[in-house]
Structure 1
Amino acid sequence: MIVIFLGPPGAGKGTQAAYIAKSRGIPQLSTGDMLRAAIKAETPVGLQAKAIIERGDLVSDDVVAGIVAERIDAPDCKPGFLLDGFPRTLGQAQMLDDIVKTKSCDIDVVLELKVDEGALVDRLRTRIEETKARGEPVRSDDNEEAFRNRLEVYREQTAPLIPFYKEKGLLREIDGMQPIDQVSAEIDKVLDSLS
């Protein structure tokens, strides 16, 4: 099963992706995590991506697609995988279509977490407070200015994926403003209907 999550930053994609990965036994492929790992390891692509991510902008489609194509060849992806943070642009969506075709698999569903953007800033503040309370470092891109920029980038570059996947019959809308467990239950219903 191949699942894609869409939704603005702070919508809960990472939380729900982690739940689905665990409950369905498929890996969660987060491009953000993969890029942060490259930054931490100070790889060439990591150093290149660092400045871009800290501004809240997106790294090039070719770099992200290359990371994803490599990762889905891993043995743990054979039964399926969940993409969190990819694709983010129409160009990436078309690259993903090409990648899955060459690997003889299909995207099963695209889950859009619909949320009130006004509530997202409050979620960001909560995430920052919880991260600090756990004694963990706050991500460099977790600040209001970068967050508002990421929202604008989402509206301009990622939101066009909604009609793209709707036209393909793959899009399912999920009310992301519900409590976390209710969002998970709604996602489970969608995924169970695909089995």
Structure 2
Amino acid sequence: MRLLMLGPPGSGKGTHGVRLADDYGVVHISSGDVLRAAIAGDTRLAGYVARGDLVPDDVLFKLLVPIMERAVAKTGGFIADGFPRTLAQAERAYREIGIDRHLKLDAVVSLDVPDDVLVRRMLDRAQQQGRADDTLEVIQHRLAVYCAETYPLIEYFRERGILLPVNGNQPPDDVYADIKEALDQRVTK
């Protein structure tokens, strides 16, 4: 299983990605976690994350592609969340990862959640986890960046026939059940 979790910040990509990775026996790869770990050694990255901006493509590919390759070698797949985030990244990933490295995605789960719910979730997460990058100003900026840069990926993946839209504005167990049902239908086609 090679799956991308797509959705705005706070939509549950990481939460459901971890569960799916456990259920399917593959590696969960969170671009946010990878970036936060890389920030310790690179202050340039800290600036992007602190502002809520997207990290340059070359940096993301350098960090994430080797992790994806190791995941496939180890378990046969991965559940990725937060990458690719732009149409340019998706097109580059298709060429460099999907074709050149034979790591083509099987499906893309798109979680849909209203903005007001996302803001509330991220503010709660910031308080519970002490995440300094989840202030109201940064959250609003991240949602605007998602709308402008990442939202177009929904149509990109729909056109490729691998998009699985899911209502992410329901209790987590219901969201997960809907994801599993969509994946089971895709696998049995």
Q: Could you tell me the TM-score, scaled by structure 1's length?
A: 0.90
**Quick check: 1:65–1:95 contact (8 Å CA) kept in 2?**
no
What residue number does 2:89 align with? 92
Unaligned runs of 5+ in 1: 132-137
What residue number does 2:14 align with? 14
RMSD over equivalenced CA pairs, Å: 1.2
- Equivalent in 46, 49, 71 of residue 50 of structure 1: 46
Helix, strand or coil: the match of 1:73?
Answer: helix
1:77 aligns with 2:72: yes
Residues paired across the two proteins, number: 184
Q: CA deviation at 1:129?
A: 3.1
Q: CA deviation at 1:103?
A: 1.6
Runs of 4+ in 1 over 2 A off after TM superposition: 128-131
Distance 2:33 2:156 in 1: 25
1:66 aligns with 2:75: no
- Equivalent in 154, 160, 171 of residue 179 of structure 1: 171
Unaligned runs of 5+ in 2: none
What residue number does 1:167 align with? 159
Helix, strand or coil: the match of 2:155?
Answer: helix
Distance 1:122 1:60 in 2: 28
Residue type of the alignment partner of 1:181: D
Helix, strand or coil: the match of 2:165?
Answer: strand
Distance 2:92 2:64 in 1: 10
